[in-house]
Amino acid sequence: MDTTKSVLIAGGSGLIGKQLTKMLKERGYFVYKLSRNAGKQGYIQWDPKSKKVDEKQLARIDILINLAGANIGDKNWTTARKKELIDSRVQSTEFLSEMAAKMPKLMYYVAASGVNCYNENEQKVFQESDDYGSDFLSSLVRDWETSSDRFYGICPYMKLRIAMVLSNKGGSLTAMKRPINFGLGSPLGTGNQFHPWIHIDDLCRMILFGIDKKLEGTYHAVADCDTNRTMMKGIAKYMHRPFFLPAVPSAILKFILGERSMLVLADLQVSNEKIKNEGFVFKYDKLNKALKALFSK
Ligand SMILES: NC(=O)c1ccc[n+]([C@@H]2O[C@H](COP(=O)([O-])OP(=O)(O)OC[C@H]3O[C@@H](n4cnc5c(N)ncnc54)[C@H](OP(=O)(O)O)[C@@H]3O)[C@@H](O)[C@H]2O)c1
């Protein structure tokens, strides 16, 4: 494997981008990151909205990874926020495909997307080949993935439908720890709804695996699916906090979070057979293993 390649990560300043940068550098890659707020070494400034980028470094890029997008979970989904969630992904991807013209060495593209793109609550295990659902997140993913198809004919590319990323540096695990920390640990909704999840190291390993094998097509980045009750209880156990309160009713979560409540209430199971059939082996294939590793650091 040639480890002297240069990788450019759009949205590399985020949760996944930081860990991916570390793991790419450990493998000997040169890493550059696109950010709307540049200034630090290794960052290239861009503004996907106005299609502006500092082009100086682009000619050296071999591999492009797209993690850019306004955060799905941190604000209410008003009409304006929904537009921002879509635009920040679709416009960024479209602009990246235009920027590819300035990257003569570009040999591979990795596109992030999300696993919440099916008709959830359907009591089946979804495959990558299943149809998109009809809710807001499904249409967001459809538009996002369609914009990635602009890379068709430019270079081989992989789309990763990413599950809830478990990390001890932020994201969903931090949010789930919050009530438990105050002794308010309880299931959300019925607690029986399944959440697909992945340990952040396995996600980054999967991106490295895709780069090594030049995988093409769509893959679920999912280690396993567990119920909300199992996840909340598991986290409480590792935090040495109580877990005995009754479940928070779905109606209350819907009232507080609005449409965004689907992030915690949707019941979704997806398969990871496709990536496993390519030879990928998860280091953290069971929730207990993942939580143990995350809470031991
Ligand atoms: N974390 C998860 O559990 C999870 C699950 C499924 C899918 N994903 C997807 O994977 C990608 C990376 O996730 P993450 O957790 O690392 O996200 P994150 O921490 O929120 O970081 C995303 C990055 O996108 C950039 N960004 C934010 N708003 C933007 C906008 N309006 N226009 C262009 N860029 C913008 C930011 O970079 P600058 O501010 O430096 O420009 C930010 O660092 C996201 O697209 C996310 O939807 C994540």
pLDDT in tens, 48-99: 999 999 998 899 999 999 999 999 999 999 999 999 999 999 999 999 999 9
For 194, which DSSP code? Answer: E
**Ligand 1 pocket residue status of 185, Cβ below 6 Å:** no
Among candidate residues 166, 174, 170, the one with its CA nearest the CA of residue 197: 166
Quickly count: other Cβ atoms within 10 Å of residue 47's Cβ: 12
Strand partners, 166: 199
Cβ atoms of 171 and 218 within 8 Å: the answer is no
What is the per-residue pLDDT for 56? 87
Can you read off the two tokens belonging to residue 238? 């590792």
What is the per-residue pLDDT for 120? 85
- Integer angstrom CA distances of residue 219 from 76, 146, 159, 233, 271: 28, 15, 6, 29, 10
**Ligand 1 pocket residue status of 175, Cβ below 6 Å:** no
What is the per-residue pLDDT for 15? 98
> What is the percentage of the chain residues whose pLDDT exceeds 70?
99
Q: Whose CA is nearest to atom 28 of ligand 1?
A: 70
**Ligand 1 pocket residue status of 207, Cβ below 6 Å:** no
Q: CB-based contacts of 178: which residues, under 8 Å, 6+ apart?
A: none
**Ligand 1 pocket residue status of 147, Cβ below 6 Å:** no
What is the per-residue pLDDT for 3? 53
Its pTM surpasses 0.85: yes
| pLDDT 10s digits, 43-58 | 999 999 999 999 988 9
- Arithmetic mean of pLDDT, 137-143: 98
Ligand 1, pocket-test mutation among 15, 93, 207, 262, most atoms within 8 A of CB: 15
| Strand-by-strand arrangement of the 224-227 sheet | 164-166, 194-199, 224-227
What is the per-residue pLDDT for 91? 97
For 174, which DSSP code? Answer: H
- Domains, the chain, with CATH or none: 6-296 (3.40.50.720)
What is the per-residue pLDDT for 2? 54
**Ligand 1 pocket residue status of 50, Cβ below 6 Å:** no
| pLDDT 10s digits, 1-58 | 555 899 999 999 999 999 999 999 999 999 999 999 977 777 999 999 999 999 988 9
| SS3 of residue 263 by DSSP | helix
Is the pLDDT at 131 greater than 60? The verdict is yes
**Ligand 1 pocket residue status of 72, Cβ below 6 Å:** yes
Ligand 1, pocket-test mutation among 21, 40, 67, 264, most atoms within 8 A of CB: 67
| pLDDT 10s digits, 204-255 | 999 999 999 999 999 999 999 999 999 999 999 999 999 999 999 999 999 9
Ligand 1, pocket-test mutation among 91, 165, 201, 218, most atoms within 8 A of CB: 165
d(CA 2, CA 140) in angstroms, rounded, equals: 35
Cβ atoms of 257 and 74 within 8 Å: the answer is no
Q: Whose CA is nearest to atom 17 of ligand 1?
A: 14
- Arithmetic mean of pLDDT, 287-297: 95
